[in-house]
Amino acid sequence: MALCLKQVFNKDKTFRPRKKFEPGTQRFELHKKAQASLKSGLDLKAVVQLPPGENINDWIAVHLVDFFNRINLIYGTMSEFCTEKSCPIMSGGLKYEYRWQDDYRYKRPTKLSAPQYMCMLMDWIETLINNEDIFPTRIGVPFPKNFQQVCTKILTRLFRVFVHVYIHHFDSIISMGAEAHVNTCYKHFYYFISEFSLVDQRELEPLK
């Protein structure tokens, strides 16, 4: 945990190297297509829609990895403001508290500080997206039957990063001049999870 927290507080680095797609693969091409649509200035609601003829699981996988990279970067840039002292509980205001459970080290919902929670979350997601049994990269290897359930859990927890950052650290975002970037990333994320009903509406309440 000490190493993990040290990474969190290093403002000059994100948590870990960006997860990338292998050139020449279908997912790499989908990623390029999605990025081109974003840069073209198209409406974000239209950008997230599944392109004709594409596999929905591939589309979800591409976006999930991209959101992981971007949200990881967002939190990494303002992690100096999110400390054990300022955020002793991972929360979204006074009404919402998020506890950590991963069925390995923490088998029961456990109260953690926000930095600890974020660290556990990013490590947990990285382990999942690098697991070939869950996110297969080889041609012809199918996604597992519970793939979308796994993605729902990941995206739900990533949404909690937005909740914490917006409610507890928005002043810091503004002071860094990152408001527009964070807002665009959040809108993209929100439209995507809404398009495919990937996060329970109750989880979205804190930012409504």
Which residues are annotated as part of the binding site for Zn(2+)? 82, 87, 164, 169
Rounded CA-CA distance 8/76 in Å is: 7
Q: Find the radius of gyration of the CA atoms of the chain.
A: 17
| Annotated binding-site ranges | 82, 87, 164, 169
Q: Which residue has the tokens 């660290």?
A: 119
The answer to whether the beta carbons of residues 187 and 159 sit under 8 Å apart is no
Residue type, 33: K
DSSP state of 168: H
State how far the Cα of 1 lies from the Cα of 102, in Å rounded to an integer.
15
Give the C-alpha separation, 91 to 85, whole Å: 14
Encoding tokens for residue 14? 């994100």
- What stretches of the chain adopt beta strand conformation (E)? 91-92, 96-97
